[in-house]
Structure 1
Amino acid sequence: MSKKSWSAYLITEAPPEEGCEVSASDRRRFAEVPVSGWHALVLWAIGPAHVIRCLDQRVPEPIRVVCESGGQRTVRLEERTCGDRSAVESEIHDYLMNARVPSQPCGYRWFVEIPGGISDCDDLFGRFSSSLSEYRDQLMPVEEFEVMVAIANLLYQDGKKLESDR
């Protein structure tokens, strides 16, 4: 059994347009993946044949901070800090480690191929979520991963079984 690595996930120069092909020779549809440990685990279950990434060169959006004091509410925007980014990456790292999956590389935008019969990214991740919901939060990330691999195998039936190698 071979060990897969995040380095096997293709890096493209630019992100694909939402729902569009990567290139004229590649007719697959891709959608950007939300940033979370759960979504990263789904990408690991799906595997590098159906996921691409590109460097994240966007200016980070500001964070909306809401404060309430003395019955008065104030809202302000603040720039994201290295600490903010570090906290998010730490949560993703911890989730993946609990699933016994290597840490996902930082600084990338991730895109998943939308299989035939699936309308968009929400529909795709909804299939994973609804299949896992029958377990009603009884699964640890390591157990979720095994279910995710089975779902990915059903959704991406391209003649080969997706690898569940860690």
Structure 2
Amino acid sequence: MRERSWSAVPVVTEPPTGGPGGDGRRFFEVPESGWHTLVAWAVAPGHLVRCLDLRPPEPVRVVRERRGERTFHVEERTRGDRSAVDGAIHDHLTCARVPSQPCGYRWFIALPEGVDDADRFFGLFGTASREAAREADPRRERDAMIAVADSLYGPPA
């Protein structure tokens, strides 16, 4: 079985977005959520790259509800916001018995042949994931995602 390890994922100097990389593969960025990160783990290092996240933090949209009325405003992202996102990802991975993902990187998945965009790609994982989630067993969700990844990229080397 191919080894799955965050540290085995190559580090690139620039985000591989916008078109084919040097090897002809097209990449898309992994959203910051535990579920999406678990998909990245299932895909394995041969189909992932990462780069340092040097972007300024994006603002946070805050929604407040008072007396049935919603208001929206934008605030700068705080260290606590960053910690909450990282903590939620860590908790999801821990429940699935997957090691924590290193912080400070942007992660990118290579689209498999026959899949044109990230929405379609994640949709393929959604069905398997929902069935495992009904049983409330994150390890089964992980195993189902690995099976989908192996069907998309071929058997492990």
Cα offset, 1:71, TM superposition: 5.7
The answer to whether structure 1 residue 148 and structure 2 residue 145 are counterparts is: yes
Distance in 1 (alpha carbons) for counterparts of 2:95 and 2:3 = 17
For structure 2, the residue ranges without an aligned partner over 5 or more in a row are none
Distance in 1 (alpha carbons) for counterparts of 2:128 and 2:69 = 43
Distance in 2 (alpha carbons) for counterparts of 1:53 and 1:124 = 18
Cα offset, 1:145, TM superposition: 0.9
**Counterpart in the other structure of 1:5:** 5
Matching of residues 90-105 of structure 1 within 5 Å: 90-105=87-102
Aligned sequence identity (%): 52
For structure 1, the residue ranges without an aligned partner over 5 or more in a row are none
Cα offset, 1:135, TM superposition: 4.4
Q: Tell me the alpha carbon deviations over residues 116-136 of structure 1, each in whole angstroms, 9 at most, x when there is no partner.
A: 110111111100102333446
The higher radius of gyration belongs to 1
Distance in 1 (alpha carbons) for counterparts of 2:117 and 2:83 = 29
Distance in 2 (alpha carbons) for counterparts of 1:6 and 1:32 = 16
Cα offset, 1:107, TM superposition: 1.1
- Secondary structure of the 2:24 match is strand
Cα RMSD (Å) of the superposition?
Answer: 2.0
**Counterpart in the other structure of 1:43:** 40
Superposition TM-score, scaled by structure 2 size: 0.90
CA distance 1:161–1:2, shift in 2 (3 Å) = closer
Cα offset, 1:76, TM superposition: 1.8
The answer to whether structure 1 residue 89 and structure 2 residue 71 are counterparts is: no
- Secondary structure of the 1:12 match is coil
Number of residue-to-residue matches in the alignment: 157
**Counterpart in the other structure of 2:14:** 14
Superposition TM-score, scaled by structure 1 size: 0.86
Matching of residues 106-125 of structure 1 within 5 Å: 106-125=103-122
Give the structure with the higher percent helix: 2
Cα offset, 1:3, TM superposition: 5.9
